[in-house]
Amino acid sequence: MTTTLDTTRFGAFGGTFAPETLMAPLFELEREWKRWTADADFRAELASLLQHFAGRPTALTHARRLSRELGLELWLKREDLLHTGAHKLNNTLGQCLLAQRMGKSRVVAETGAGQHGVATATACALLGLDCVVYMGAVDAARQRMNLLRMELLGARVRVVEHGQRTLKDAINEAMRAWVGDPTETHYALGSALGPHPFPSIVAGFQQVIGEEARKDFLARTGRLPDAVVACVGGGSNAIGIFRAFVPDASVALVGVEAGGEGVGKGQQHAARFAGGEPGVLHGCYTYLLQDDDGQIRPTHSISAGLDYPAVGPEHAMLHDEKRARYSWATDAEALRGFEALAKGEGILCALESAHAVGWVLREREALSGQHVLVNLSGRGDKDLETIASLRGPEREGA
């Protein structure tokens, strides 16, 4: 594990736009995060947990059949093979271990698709910490199995019934819970967003993805990929793999947002770089979807994990510096990506990751002959009810 960025800003973005009641907990978190991530015993214990409990390193898979079909070399970084089924465990093991070293007895978290909630509940069960997870009612309905998994792991799930009842509202409630008891409680934020130091903490615990991928790709192919592609909600899986390749100018970095129904006027989506502008949400300055009065616009995505109106500030910096390109895939394109990977490679990926695959399918001509590395941030078990409802009578034997 390498150290995280020691900064409160990413270019013009980031910062600490938080109420006075949060400043003391944030200062404490920054101090303890710097202290413990520099501690050799902490780093060794986290590395051991990642290897022997989580299952790192994860595989690098060459998608041979799809490569032939698409006319490019498609490679997959398999975070779907990590324990609990997604990249989220990298961060929750780090943050919960940090909470334990800080003397906290309780962890609160938010979740959208449920994978961060499951990963937090898992880490808390492992380390003997009390766990409360906040989840929007819309997400709780479409991710029922993950809600059950959290409860079976000992977490108490608080379903949020106000606002859009999705990830944004779950974050609001988790922050309120943290403010109410900062002495005993740690807030394990799940993505690379929020007030400093959260974007740096989360990205730092996730950059193991890119470090492994870069090393393995060079070992397998003798070269670097031409492009690294990842879905972007808040942006933790994407920044986790991007960081290792940022210094390599020859490697294109592509973040794929949720295009929802489409990004045209009047259509609902969660493509912040396609329809948003800079503003402040959940404690940081970044790109977000807002109306002319500065009110947060409703979002939509077939995937609960991408259904969020803002993006992590490090992505905002990479966008404005033109080091990364941010595109989008619609719900329909994500479904095509899911089906292509399932039928072509025997992999059921999360609908979030399917957006990245769907983008590659759409851009196949422009990518012809290139080596393309896609980060599969999670597996698709959690999305099977959604996919089954959309397929309807097309199922064999119906």
* Residue positions annotated with a catalytic role: 88, 110, 377
Q: Count the neighbouring beta carbons within 10 Å of the beta carbon of residue 24.
A: 11
Which residues on adjacent β-strands are paired with residue 133? 109, 157
Return the ∠ at Cα 394 (arms to 390 and 398), rounded to 5°: 115
- On whether the CB atoms of residues 384 and 241 are closer than 8 A, the answer is no
Q: What is the rounded CA–CA span in Å between residue 190 and residue 95?
A: 10
DSSP state of 50: I
Distances in whole angstroms, Cα of residue 151 to Cα of each of 114, 154, 157, 184, 393: 12, 5, 7, 21, 33
Span between the terminal Cα atoms of the chain, in Å: 50
Helices 198-206, 313-320: crossing angle, 10 deg rounding: 80
Q: What is the rounded CA–CA span in Å between residue 300 and residue 303?
A: 8
How is 271-325 classified by DSSP, letter by letter?
Answer: -HHHH-EEEEETTEEEEE-B-TTSPBPP---SSGGG--SB--HHHHHHHHTTSEE
